[in-house]
Structure 1
Amino acid sequence: MRSILLFFIADILLAFNLDEAIALALQNSQKIREQELRTQIAQNNIRAQYGKFAPKLEFRYSSTQNNRVNANTYILNLSDIHASYNLFHGFKDFYTLKSYQALKQAQDHMQEAVTQDIILLTKKLYIQILEARNNLAIATESVRLLRSQQKQAQEFYSQGLKSKSDLLSVEVMLANAKVNQSNNKNALQHVLLSLQKLLNTQIDINTLEGLTTRNLSQLNFERDKLEQAMLKSRSEYLYMQSVLDSLRYEKRSYQSAYLPSVDASISRLWYSNDVSTLNRLGTNLQSQARINFTWNIFNGLNDKYLLESKELDILITQARLLDLKYELNLALDIAISDLQTAKEQYNTSQKAVLLAEESYKIVQNRYKQNIETSREVLNSEIALSQARLHFNQSQHRINLALANLERIIQSSLNEIQ
């Protein structure tokens, strides 16, 4: 009893569930790391734009050698401290900042989209492993049943109750079942390797926890609510909206080129015709304060065509946003259809398993009594294995459909009901 209890506790401690798989996938994803770095770049671009609203301070020094006609040469030394401040640039700096802030929001949405893609991929691989593991168990059970039938057929043949062809039919089916079992092992290994690569860790297939199938009556969702949640939360859609906002701010920034700009500056200047006099700050000292007013009257229509190009960029992005909305709605309809189909297959295959199990028991008992031939038993065994496979597939197709649907709307389905 103690050993059984220790084994049970160890099995719990070693169990590996879907949430742990998702956490590992996010932790080890280089795609997410790349997006995090891109987000930092976007944040630094915003900080750089704030610098345009701060005053500027410069120290400048120049030394000039001058030659006169009479061959006399003198050196003019000039140094100054210059401070300037942008009072008004037609809101260009303001809208440029807003444009970069919108791009930062777009990058945030892109990072979230990549994160959600990693989560969906993890869910798919995890579910596919569970399905492949169950398929292998079904194939293994089929081999066991056929071995039992082979033993029975061998006894009947030895007793002269059945022909050799009866025994050979069972042996052929057993060989085919072993091939099918091998194929299922290979399929399981492939999907397991894919998940291990994603998580960057080794996984014991026996420690994966199964997923419970939700009550089918609770899996009814209103399409309008799903679409509303999708357009509100889907990162790719929000990304395109933020890019569109950025372009609109850029357009306003270009429009500011038609407005005047005003700058204020203060300079303190020292100059002399000898380097040594620079040390005497009281000599040849001059201070200046300026207000610079500039208004672009005509620059060869440069601003006009830049503005028109930006308007075209906005139209292109609006078209892409509308096209994305159509694609998302199509994906939503397909996901809803997949879920409905999976639910129908689940109900049908569940009944089929019960019928196939009962039929197999009846035929097997009749075969042991030498009433049925091996053909009827083989057909019954095939029907049972197929029913179990279809039921297993329908179970996991429901979970796959739910995972895909949650990715499309990027919200919890529990919040939709």
Structure 2
Amino acid sequence: MKNIFAFIFISFYFNISLLNASESINLDEAIEILKSQNLEIKSAQFEIEAALQDAKATSASHYGKLDFIQDFARSDDAGNVFGFKLSSREADFGDFGADEFMSNSAACQGGDMAACSRLYTDPPENLNNPEARNYFQSKLKYEVPLFTGFKISSYEDIMNSVTKLKKLEKSQVINEKIYETRKSFYDMALLEDSIANLSVILKNIETLEDMTKEMIDVGYAKKVDLLEVKAKKGNVERLISQMNANKELLYHYISFLLNQKVTSIQTPSFEMHMPSISNSDIINNNLDIQKANTGLAIQKRMVDVSESSYYPMVGAFAEIATADNTFLGDADDHKSYTIGARLTWNIFNGGADSANVEKSRLEYLKTKTQVALANNGIALKIDEIRTEIKSYEKDIESLRKELLLADEIYKNYEARYKEKLVSMSDVIIKQSEQIQKILQLQETINKRNKRIFALEKLANGEK
């Protein structure tokens, strides 16, 4: 029974998936799917989460660290054995050879001069040759930095800036993928418009083909005229076939971007509108500029990190421990504590600190120069793109007029062919010019669209 329900659920889900995949989506819907499903965008989000964890790890340094340390040792070394006993508060005078001392002292008092000499010359057997002893020490140790010359706070700011940088990189990935998706939709619209225009021409050729056959039947045309028409018809069919293949490739690419199968889309108008955004707004929104400014902030804090070596470092620590020759044996009786603080201040290291500070400052100045260069470079690129768009717009206006003229000339030559005033070769030449103008117009509109996309891309997707 469970298997039956599972099969029904899988079949239902599969049918729904096919239904969704076959639905025609518009550009806005595609962009929303892109933001949630694109694999590169997901990867960029993981980068942000990793950077956030690095920032948390840096902030954690303020709170110090607490370690539990468990030591186990066994030794018959005299120093170790005595130290073990002393650590576990079990050392006694017997460890110093008190029994031997008392024995020699009594003999000395009885007149044994050799015993008097051994009181201070014989090494104590228990102290120098102890039996091997086990040692278990359990310790909790807490260390906390009190002052680090602003190094930790500087690293905190750096890691926060790195996180911001990762977010900007994700925005850049999103911007790039939206750019590619929008371009694919407009390319599809342009292809469909070109196919429609070529289809009209194909119908005209088919009409011309039928007319030529009729004229051959009545002796007003030659077979070579029909061959020319058929050759041109094959040429147009080949162009339409190539464009349909390009449409299929675009569907594959859109599916890749959205990370799901897409078989139908609602195309926008194939010609884009010029975005109404000023140069200053583009520069302010530009992600490369924002990334450069964030990198500049990181370099500024790196100067602070370098300068922290001029300050003393102050830290505190506290520990509690217990030790015995068995694990946690008489732990309460053998416990101990230690608290303290340490100040470390490097007075002289051959000028290395000042060299590192100067290097950091130079890196900061270099980055500052690069930011200014990036601003100027973006401004130059904006001016270049706007100039190219204006040039393409003039070309499009001219090509449209030329296409209208080519259409009229073809119609004129077709009518004149019926009257045997021109040859079929002349008609075919004029039709070739007509097709050439269509392809030139398509190519120029596509180039204009690309430059508008590039302008929007610089403006962080603003339209």
Task: Please classify the TM superposition score into its range, dividing by the shorter chain length.
Answer: 0.7 to 0.9
State the partner residue of 1:232.
284
Q: Does 1:264 align with 2:316?
A: yes
Tell me, in whole angstroms, the C-alpha distance in 1 between the residues paired with 2:240 and 2:452.
Answer: 29
Tell me, in whole angstroms, the C-alpha distance in 1 between the residues paired with 2:67 and 2:235.
Answer: 85
Contact preservation (8 Å) 1:139, 1:184: no
1:248-295 per-residue CA deviation (whole Å, 9 max, x = no partner) reads 2122112111101222233334456x44884251x3554433232221
Decide whether aligned partners of structure 1 residues 78 and 170 sit closer, same or farther in structure 2, where only a CA change above 3 A counts. closer
Q: Does 1:109 align with 2:160?
A: no
Aligned to 2:146, the other structure's residue is in SS state strand
Aligned to 1:262, the other structure's residue is in SS state strand
State the partner residue of 1:244.
296
Match of 2:405 among 355, 360, 365: 355
Q: Does 1:208 align with 2:208?
A: no
Aligned to 1:279, the other structure's residue is in SS state coil
Q: Does 1:50 align with 2:50?
A: no
Q: Which amino acid aligns with 2:230?
A: E
Q: Does 1:162 align with 2:221?
A: yes
Q: Does 1:346 align with 2:396?
A: yes
Tell me, in whole angstroms, the C-alpha distance in 1 between the residues paired with 2:328 and 2:414.
Answer: 117
Tell me, in whole angstroms, the C-alpha distance in 2 between the residues paired with 1:300 and 1:73.
Answer: 51
Decide whether aligned partners of structure 1 residues 276 and 341 sit closer, same or farther in structure 2, where only a CA change above 3 A counts. closer
Decide whether aligned partners of structure 1 residues 106 and 140 sit closer, same or farther in structure 2, where only a CA change above 3 A counts. same
Aligned to 1:126, the other structure's residue is in SS state helix
1:12-66 per-residue CA deviation (whole Å, 9 max, x = no partner) reads x943222222233333322212211111110000100111111433333445645
Contact preservation (8 Å) 1:54, 1:85: yes
Q: Which amino acid aligns with 2:389?
A: L
Q: After TM superposition, give the deviation of residue 144 of structure 1 in Å.
A: 2.0
1:115-158 per-residue CA deviation (whole Å, 9 max, x = no partner) reads 11111111222222222222233333222211211221222222
State the partner residue of 2:129.
71
Output aligned runs, 1:327-406, within 5 Å. 327-406=377-456
State the partner residue of 2:10.
none
Q: Does 1:124 align with 2:183?
A: yes
Q: Which amino acid aligns with 1:53?
A: H
1:179-205 per-residue CA deviation (whole Å, 9 max, x = no partner) reads 333333333333333333323334335
Contact preservation (8 Å) 2:189, 2:270: no
Task: Single out whichever of 35-44 and 360-369 deviates more from structure 2.
Answer: 360-369
State the partner residue of 1:81.
140
Q: Which amino acid aligns with 1:346?
A: I
Contact preservation (8 Å) 1:229, 1:411: no
Tell me, in whole angstroms, the C-alpha distance in 2 between the residues paired with 1:97 and 1:311.
Answer: 19
Contact preservation (8 Å) 1:331, 1:408: no
Tell me, in whole angstroms, the C-alpha distance in 2 between the residues paired with 1:164 and 1:57.
Answer: 98
Q: Which amino acid aligns with 2:50?
A: I
Aligned to 1:22, the other structure's residue is in SS state helix
Tell me, in whole angstroms, the C-alpha distance in 1 between the residues paired with 2:317 and 2:411.
Answer: 98
Tell me, in whole angstroms, the C-alpha distance in 2 between the residues paired with 1:354 and 1:346.
Answer: 12
Tell me, in whole angstroms, the C-alpha distance in 2 between the residues paired with 1:324 and 1:193.
Answer: 36
State the partner residue of 1:178.
237
Tell me, in whole angstroms, the C-alpha distance in 2 between the residues paired with 1:372 and 1:28.
Answer: 60
Q: After TM superposition, give the deviation of residue 213 of structure 1 in Å.
A: 4.2
Aligned to 2:402, the other structure's residue is in SS state helix
What TM-score comes out, normalization by structure 2 length? 0.74
Q: Does 1:100 align with 2:149?
A: no
Decide whether aligned partners of structure 1 residues 144 and 202 sit closer, same or farther in structure 2, where only a CA change above 3 A counts. farther
Tell me, in whole angstroms, the C-alpha distance in 1 between the residues paired with 2:337 and 2:388.
Answer: 78
Tell me, in whole angstroms, the C-alpha distance in 2 between the residues paired with 1:353 and 1:202.
Answer: 38
State the partner residue of 1:290.
340
Contact preservation (8 Å) 1:254, 1:306: yes
Contact preservation (8 Å) 1:96, 1:249: yes
Q: Which amino acid aligns with 1:404?
A: A
Decide whether aligned partners of structure 1 residues 275 and 229 sit closer, same or farther in structure 2, where only a CA change above 3 A counts. same
State the partner residue of 1:4.
none
Decide whether aligned partners of structure 1 residues 375 and 263 sit closer, same or farther in structure 2, where only a CA change above 3 A counts. same
The answer for unaligned runs of 5 or more in structure 2 is 1-18, 79-126
Q: Does 1:253 align with 2:305?
A: yes
State the partner residue of 2:203.
144
Decide whether aligned partners of structure 1 residues 361 and 277 sit closer, same or farther in structure 2, where only a CA change above 3 A counts. closer
State the partner residue of 1:192.
251
Q: After TM superposition, give the deviation of residue 87 of structure 1 in Å.
A: 1.5
Match of 1:30 among 39, 47, 55: 39
State the partner residue of 2:25.
16
Match of 1:279 among 325, 330, 338: 330
Tell me, in whole angstroms, the C-alpha distance in 2 between the residues paired with 1:17 and 1:276.
Answer: 72
Q: Does 1:310 align with 2:368?
A: no
Aligned to 1:59, the other structure's residue is in SS state strand
Give the structure with higher Rg (CA): 2
Contact preservation (8 Å) 2:323, 2:335: yes
Tell me, in whole angstroms, the C-alpha distance in 1 between the residues paired with 2:167 and 2:300.
Answer: 19
Decide whether aligned partners of structure 1 residues 396 and 77 sit closer, same or farther in structure 2, where only a CA change above 3 A counts. closer
